Amino acid sequence: MTTVLDVARRAGVSSATVSRVLNGQATVNAEARLRVLAAAAELGFQPNRMAQSLRSGRGRTVAMLVGDIEQNLYSALTKHVQAVLGQIGLDLLLYNLDHSPDRLRSFLAMAPSLGLRGLALATTDAIPAAFDPVLQGLQRGGLTLLSLGQRLDERGIPSIVHEEQAAGERAVRFLIESGRHPVLFAGRITGSAIGADRYRGYRAALAGAGLSLRRDLIFDTATAYRYSAGYDAVQRAIEAGTEFGAVQASSDEIALGAMAALHDHGRRVPEDVAVIGFGNIDWAAHTRPALTTLSVHHDAVAAALRSALENTEAGTEVPMLVSIGRSLIRRASA
């Protein structure tokens, strides 16, 4: 394996000079810099960035912990986050939590040894208060800690979020005012901070319209934002004889599953039942009928993440809460 010493011998310089060049320091003259870069290229030398980070105490990597790597939400967010980190010379380490508190606990325990610049918690799963001492310890150790998606600002963690409750209320109010009620709610409520906020929006819209909350119209999908969860919720409602004129789903995946169940039971969308999703994932405009949904702005989340990292680097204050609005995107399903 090629080492720094090999590059130094090939370039005719000291190993310290090689390290300064590869770390981007400006104290090396142009001729020596070119010799080092040429030698490294000839030998195929790739510096160990993690080792460099541990030696310098300044990491080049930001870890992003996602709730479920198979969800479209996280793949789209990852693409934007990786792009903005690259713009400021940082790398992305992606870690799948798979909705497991044990996996979160394990990663947080090893985080201090990874030489990270920052850590972004990008999960809809509610993070128990029992994790707070560990998270606070990471912050005291100099790690930039951020929450992407759920509000943890009251627990001392800067948070970059989309509005959830207000958006959910806006969508359900639109359905009610369009005469498309009763409205069935299908979404993850238990264990999901974001899902619970969207459900609160549903309740607020009903209360604002003077409508009673009906338990037979509420389906807590419990474990995940999956297509099958939406299908199962609508199928159970139909088999129970529950009448409804609309479905408010707490994700686009759940909405698509709901639309499939409606189709299989002979219900037309939107003629018989209107459907609204959440998140405007890339296929939402290309289903038939095209899915009405709430917008998402991964580019704004990524930009706010970059700004927080740059503020930390400059020693300036990082906002404790950045809230990004959602708009109702009207398409054929509602």
Q: Is residue 53 part of a domain?
A: no
Are 257 and 149 part of one and the same domain? no
Residue 164 pLDDT greater than 90, yes or no = yes
Q: Is residue 332 part of a domain?
A: no
| Nearest-10 Cα torsion for 282, 300, 73, 264 | -50
Q: Is residue 52 part of a domain?
A: no
Residue 132 pLDDT greater than 60, yes or no = yes
Q: What is the pLDDT of residue 30?
A: 77
| pLDDT tens for each residue of 84-126 | 999 988 999 999 999 899 999 999 999 988 889 999 999 989 9
Q: What is the pLDDT of residue 5?
A: 85
Are 220 and 154 part of one and the same domain? no
Give the count of domains, the chain.
3
Taking the C-alpha atoms of residue 273 and residue 257, their distance in angstroms, rounded to an integer, is 14
Residue 184 pLDDT greater than 60, yes or no = yes
Q: What is the pLDDT of residue 49?
A: 54
Q: Is residue 9 part of a domain?
A: yes
Average of pLDDT values for 22-36?
Answer: 75
Residue 55 pLDDT greater than 50, yes or no = no
Residue 57 pLDDT greater than 80, yes or no = no
Are 98 and 157 part of one and the same domain? yes
Are 192 and 312 part of one and the same domain? no
Are 69 and 144 part of one and the same domain? yes
Are 276 and 155 part of one and the same domain? no
Q: Which domain holds residue 111?
A: 58-162+298-325
* Residue 277: CATH number of its domain: 3.40.50.2300
| pLDDT tens for each residue of 280-316 | 999 999 999 999 999 999 999 999 999 999 999 889 9
Query: Mean pLDDT, the chain, as a whole number?
Result: 91
Confidence class of residue 26 from pLDDT cuts 50, 70 and 90? Answer: low
Are 141 and 178 part of one and the same domain? no
Q: Give the residue, 175 or 57, on which the prediction is more confident.
A: 175
User: In this structure, are strands 328-329 and 293-294 parallel, antiparallel, or unpaired?
Assistant: antiparallel
Confidence class of residue 256 from pLDDT cuts 50, 70 and 90? Answer: very high
Q: What is the pLDDT of residue 24?
A: 60
Q: Give the residue, 49 or 77, on which the prediction is more confident.
A: 77
Share of the chain above pLDDT 70, in %: 94
| pLDDT tens for each residue of 262-281 | 999 999 999 999 999 999 99
| Closest C-alpha among 212, 228, 221, 278 to residue 248 | 278
Taking the C-alpha atoms of residue 1 and residue 15, their distance in angstroms, rounded to an integer, is 16
Q: What is the pLDDT of residue 324?
A: 97
pTM exceeds cut of 0.85: no
Q: How far is CA 14 from CA 28, 35, 73, 227, in A?
A: 11, 12, 48, 59
Q: Which amino acid, one-letter code, is at 220?
A: D
Sheet with 246-249: strands ordered across: 218-220, 183-187, 246-249, 274-276
Q: What is the pLDDT of residue 54?
A: 46
Average of pLDDT values for 195-221?
Answer: 96
* Residue 21: CATH number of its domain: 1.10.260.40
Q: Which two tokens stand for residue 31?
A: 């001729």
Q: What is the pLDDT of residue 113?
A: 86
Q: Which amino acid, one-letter code, is at 326?
A: R
Q: Is residue 19 part of a domain?
A: yes
Average of pLDDT values for 152-174?
Answer: 97
